[in-house]
């Protein structure tokens, strides 16, 4: 019975994957017959058509609302697998079009496809939107590389917390002010130089470790904390005169050496968010 319920969802996934295969075939075999402008629009348009499917998968699998009965673990797991499968295929398609110079992956370029939307879920009064970076992007995009922090982004979550009641939110929206407060969280990695033991010296000598340097890739989840312009100030000139906002990375969770799947990474973030929910002062770095 579960498989029968999943069948139409999986069929829609296959339709989207087949469409990606068609776009790839057009690029490889017939791109000389098409205008460059047309090809440059193909992938961004296709990514937008995938938004409703991603939203359905993630919201159905994750959303925790009072009136909704939790899904059986098997169905939840399968829905998140579909999301991972489509995300991986879209990432491959974007990178291929970029290799033919039909797309830009530079985050500072307004027309680039540096990242794409992969779903949204709602838990109580917290809305979480998810994005995947097509290739690792510097955490401080647009800032001089020499002043960078060595962190590279692979995922981003926009977390919107509704602080007011619906009536207060509607009133603020009528006045042109938002009724939510958005926070930004990232899945990042950093290459760190470490030392490891290479073995002991020959017998007869005092045992001594022979160390050699190596680079390891450490994964973590952290929060963007803006430093300039100061988010506590309301001076409009600070925002107008600031070419690139600056911020710091506040690490919340150490994930070790292995890159997590998009589903596991989101599970980790949600675990951190809701384990510390209700403490009044927001999240604390760990």
pLDDT digits (tens, 9 = 90+) for 63-94: 776 666 778 888 999 999 999 999 999 999 99
Same domain, 227 and 244: yes
Query: Same domain, yes or no, for 143 and 55?
Result: no
Last residue of one domain, picked from the residues 85, 116, 147: 116
pLDDT bin (cut points 50, 70, 90) of residue 204 is very low
Residue 24 in any domain: the answer is yes
* Residue 49 counted as domain residue: yes
pLDDT per residue as tens digits for the range 152-196: 999 999 999 876 555 555 555 444 444 458 899 999 999 988 876
Domain boundary, last residue among 92, 116, 140:
116
Q: Is residue 54 part of a domain?
A: yes
* Best mean pLDDT range from 3-7, 100-104, 220-224, 270-274: 220-224
pTM above 0.85, yes or no: no
Strands 180-200, 151-162: pairing is: antiparallel
């Amino acid at each position: 019975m579960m498989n029968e319920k999943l069948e139409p969802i999986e069929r829609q996934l296959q339709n989207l994957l087949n469409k990606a295969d068609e776009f790839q075939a057009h690029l490889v075999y017939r791109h000389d017959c098409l205008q460059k402008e047309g090809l440059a629009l193909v992938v961004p348009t296709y990514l937008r058509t995938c938004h409703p499917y991603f939203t359905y998968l993630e919201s159905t699998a994750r959303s925790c609302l009072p009136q909704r009965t939790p899904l059986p673990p098997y169905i939840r797991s399968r829905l998140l697998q579909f999301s991972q499968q489509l995300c991986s295929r879209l990432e491959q398609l974007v990178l291929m079009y970029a290799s033919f110079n039909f797309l830009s992956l530079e985050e500072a370029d307004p027309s680039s496809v540096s990242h794409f939307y992969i779903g949204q879920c709602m838990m109580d009064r917290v809305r979480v939107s998810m994005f995947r970076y097509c290739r690792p992007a510097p955490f401080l995009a647009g800032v001089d590389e020499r002043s960078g922090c060595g962190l590279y982004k692979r995922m981003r979550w926009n977390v919107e917390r509704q602080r007011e009641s619906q009536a207060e939110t509607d009133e603020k929206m009528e006045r042109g002010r938002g009724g939510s407060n958005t926070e930004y969280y990232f899945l990042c990695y950093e290459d760190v130089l470490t030392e490891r033991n290479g073995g002991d010296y020959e017998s007869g000598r005092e045992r001594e470790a022979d160390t050699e340097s190596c680079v390891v890739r450490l994964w973590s989840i952290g929060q963007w904390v803006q430093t300039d312009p100061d988010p506590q100030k309301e001076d409009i000139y600070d925002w107008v005169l600031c070419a690139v906002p600056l911020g710091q990375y506040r690490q919340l969770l150490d994930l070790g050496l292995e890159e997590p799947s998009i589903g596991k990474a989101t599970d980790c973030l949600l675990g951190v968010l809701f384990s510390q929910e209700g403490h009044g002062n927001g999240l604390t770095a760990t």
